[in-house]
Amino acid sequence: MQSAFSQSVSSFNFGNNKVYTPFTSFAVPVADTTPVNSPVKGPISNLEKNIATKAIKGANEGIHFPVGTSDIKTVRYDLFITDTTVDYTGKKRHAIAVNASIPAPTLVFTVGDTALIYVHNDADEPTAIHWHGVFLPNRMDGVAWLTQLPIPPHTTYIYKFPVLQAGTYWYHSHYDLQEQIGLYGALIFNKRTEPDIPTIPIVLSDWSNTKPKEIDRMLHTENDWFAIEKHSTQSYWEALKAGKIGVKFINEWKRMKAMDVSDVYYEKFLLNGKSSEQFKQFKAGDSVRLRIVNGGASSYFWISYSGGKMTVIANDGNDVKPVQVSRFIIAPSETYDVVVTIPENMQYELLATPEDRSGSASLWLGSGMRMPEPPLPKLDYFAGMKMMNEMMKMNGDMKPMGMDMTLQEMNMNEIMYPELNLPFENHKHQHDEMNTNDMDSTIQIDNMRTSNDTSHQTVYTCPMHPDVISGKPGKCPKCRMTLVRKEEMDNMQMPSRENNITTLNYGMLESPDKTTLPEGTWKTLRFTLDGNMNRYVWTINNKTVSESDKILIKRGENLRIILYNNSMMRHPMHLHGHDFRLLNDYGEYSPLKNVVDILPMETDTLEFHASESGDWFFHCHILYHMMSGMGRIFSYQDSPPNPEIPDPKMAYHMLNMDDRMFFLTAENDFATNGNDGSLEYGNTRWAFQGEWRLGYNALHGYEVETHFGRYIGKMQWLFPYIGFDWRYRKQHTDEKTLFGQTDTKDDRKVIHIGVEYTLPWLIVADASVDNTGKFRIQLSRDDIPLTPRLRGSFMVNTDREYMYGLRYIFTKNFALSGHYDSDMGWGVGVRVTY
């Protein structure tokens, strides 16, 4: 006899039924529809004014509904976008609401419907709505400046498309940074007949009290305030206390910043707009379907459940064969459908924890005594730093690790997860004992010899599951990871799996139907994901969107994309308007997805059939990575003009402005011995720099120096420049530099050229020559993390000038400072930073 859980899972079918049965089992309210012929107030901003009544056509042929569908109807929703004020943290902040709600209301359609959506932009800024993961005409995709013009304030835009898919999707703003402040919501496409099981749409999101544009500016200007707020600075004092001072030295020797798994500090994490939500109507034995959307701008979430294992039944809207897991990570913009059961008449917690573990959000199911899911412990950042040191070359590239890293099967971040790890020495000892004295506890996946004498036999094991051993190469039966030779693993620092946690990865996803592509010519593209945190530049093949041409593709051909992540951050790469096959060991049954989360050093292969028309975006779905340029545009050749883009050249120029934006940072010390500061105004490649030292009298003097140059290379350690140097200090004798040249500071005005280069330990070397032939070499650093809030600095040059100082950071903008300057002497004061 099947349990209620087994019956609920087996009732999921994987086709679109011809019989239509309305689905009425949502356990939460969803959006109300609007009568199709309701009048519209205000101007329509579509360039095709009759779009609501006009048949929707594709590129070269009509887009048709699936054969055999009945009860086809038009379903209309009206969405009203407004500016609003929210208070999630005790501070009122500006946000954007849809129909007075954050998240936006859940829209529900059935396969065969025509979606008719009126977006009324009642906010005071433009917008555009992207229908994430949806197959639809290109001009309805909702990307500002690529598939449509932005929707002007106080106008209405109409989106219309046939519903050809079933699954969990979502919609969000694709204009500027609006996604960060509330413009996102769930989009549910039901099959013609769905299992009658209670269903809860869940939208996860992250909230910051800092304005999105300020977040973007801070990320681009090397401001470490977010690390201070997250307690992840990994200062020298913290390294010393943890016995990891050598790890910290090597980290900075390789010119790396502190280890981290997220870019932004968020004050709040939300589940359907709340920190916690509760559904008491469920009782023991009930099963619930959760349609989970990660609408976070840049947060990954770990999902776990206190009521036992979860059954994953769909990913990115596409069905997969049910697989039971203890937990899974959901990347920004991914969706998962899972089924959970209520074991007893108690309350069970579905816990969503951001990967940096700086908070959480909860869903409680059932009534009675609460059974909380254990919170995830804080990350061991220094363990991650040590692994990062081992993975990174001196030039910023990743080292080959001699392993087949793909499909999330080897998450290097797990070395930082205390819940999975024992100290490495203990793990290695246990691992060695296990393979010599306790063979009964191992999982043998072939008939390898079990004698203690293995000198003439190669033993293979799984880096993530050392209890799995084999006498030949193959795949781990637990996680599908490629086995490695035991002697190789003994030299690695890997997490121990002395627990019963089953973590989902892409290698475990299998489509219920074949996903092979139709016959056609093949085109292979290789994309290397690169970037650096120092100046927050994120690229594909070391080029941003604005620096690269559109990728021309032909309708009817098959595309294969080989993705390699050469950066230290993971990236959720999303393809608009198409599903792709993510190749895994299931071959013809590899899963279909529209987002792939690719970990550092991973290589993943995607395949999709070019069946559309127009221009389609492929980009990282971490909002601030996308805005920095990590993306490409696929452009179908011979596509008809897009009627919503009357001037394609102008629109493309505007699209490229995102990763060409300039950002200003400045700081100034108001000290007892003078006033000194610096600024930089720059974008991805170019920058104007200035610095000044203004004494309070002529003996202390005045100095102003400017640089204008271009950052070069993936890591942008090289900065050639040209600039102007003006100095005045009352002196009666000339000084000599270390090169023996005369150094006159009495009203000196010169033009100079030079180059800055970042050395090991993040020391900036600056070599320059001016129009008089005078050379100068300078070494400096301004951000030595002595403690979480205490920073050290120094400067020394061949003009016999030097400076050293300390500052204690109180807030994002203010610090107390003290320093000694060889020209100005001792001084204390306040540093103001922007």
Q: In terms of pTM, does the model score above 0.75?
A: yes
Residues 534 and 634 reside in one and the same domain: yes
Q: Which residues contact 566 (CB under 8 A, 6 or more apart)?
A: 397, 398, 528, 529, 530, 601
What tokens does 243 get? Answer: 């016995």
Nearest in space to 731 (alpha carbons), one of 627, 626, 823: 823
User: What is the domain-level CATH number for residue 90?
Assistant: 2.60.40.420
Beta bridge pairs of residue 719: 756
> pLDDT digit string (tens) for 124-134?
999 999 999 99
Question: What's the first-to-final CA gap in the chain, in angstroms?
Answer: 67
Q: How many angstroms from the chain centroid is the CA of residue 676?
A: 37
791 within some domain: yes
Q: Residue 456 has what pLDDT? A: 54
Sheet holding 595-598, edge to edge: 551-553, 631-636, 615-620, 571-575, 595-598
- Is 335 within a domain? no
Residue 67 lies in a domain: yes
Query: Residues 366-390: pLDDT tens digits?
Result: 999 999 999 999 999 888 888 888 8
User: Is residue 816, in this structure, part of any structural domain at all?
Assistant: yes
Q: Which of the two residues, 734 and 335, has the higher pLDDT score? A: 335
Residues 744 and 644 in one domain: no
Tokens of 213: 């544009």
pLDDT score at 452: 43
Which of 524-538, 592-606, 735-749 is the least confident region? Answer: 735-749
693 and 566 fall within a common domain: no
Q: What percent of the chain lies above the pLDDT cut of 90?
A: 67
Q: Please check whether residues 477 and 526 belong to one and the same domain.
A: no
Distance CA 190, CA 166 (A): 5
With vertex at residue 571, the alpha carbon angle to CA 475 and CA 164, rounded to the nearest 5 degrees, is: 85
Domain check: are 521 and 481 in the same one?
no
Last residue of a domain, one of 607, 636, 659: 659
Going by pLDDT thresholds of 50, 70 and 90, the confidence category of residue 435 is: very low
As a whole number, mean pLDDT of residues 167-173 equals 98
Residue 402 has pLDDT above 70, yes or no: no
Residue 532 has a pLDDT of 86
Same structural domain, 631 and 767: no
- At residue 542 the predicted structure's pLDDT band, cuts being 50, 70 and 90, is very high
Q: Establish if 434 belongs to a structural domain.
A: yes
259-287 pLDDT, tens digit each: 888 999 999 999 999 999 999 999 999 99
Domain around 434: 422-444+458-493
Better-predicted residue by pLDDT, 102 or 746: 102
Would residue 202 count as lying in a domain? no
The pLDDT of residue 515 is 96
Residue with tokens 């555009």: 128
348 close to 522: Cβ distance less than 8 angstroms: no
Indicate whether 530 and 584 sit together in one domain: yes
* Same structural domain, 125 and 181: yes
How many structural domains comprise the chain?
4
Select from 192, 214, 247 the last residue of a domain. Answer: 192
Answer yes or no: do 35 and 123 share one domain. Answer: yes
CA distance 156 to 118: 7
Residue 782 lies in a domain: yes
Same domain, 667 and 808: yes
340 pLDDT more than 80: yes
Q: Model confidence at 13, in pLDDT bands (50, 70, 90)? A: very low
Average pLDDT of the chain, as a whole number: 87
* 593 plus 723 within the same structural domain: no
pLDDT in tens, 774-822: 999 999 999 999 999 999 999 999 999 999 999 999 999 999 999 999 8
Pick from 157, 192, 227: which residue ends a domain?
Answer: 192
pLDDT digits (tens, 9 = 90+) for 193-238: 888 899 999 999 999 999 999 999 999 998 889 999 999 999 999 9
Q: Do residues 580 and 573 lie in contact, with contact meaning Cβ atoms separated by under 8 Å? A: no
Tens digit of pLDDT for each residue in 50-88?
Answer: 787 777 653 323 334 445 555 678 899 999 999 999 999
Element (H, E) at 382: helix 381-391
Q: List the beta bridge partners of residue 34.
A: 76
Within a domain: 599: yes
Contacts of 587 (CB under 8 A, 6+ apart): none
Provide DSSP, 200-268. Answer: EEEEEEEE-SS-HHHHHHHHHTT--HHHHHHT----HHHHHHTT-HHHHHHHHHTT-----S-S---SE
Do 486 and 539 reside in the same domain of the chain?
Answer: no
Q: Which tokens is 461 given?
A: 């094991």
Of the chain, the percentage scoring pLDDT greater than 70 comes to 87
**Residue written as tokens 């989009």?**
187
**Mean pLDDT value of segment 723-748:** 82
Reported as half-sphere exposure (CB side, CA atoms, 13 A), residue 776 has a value of 26
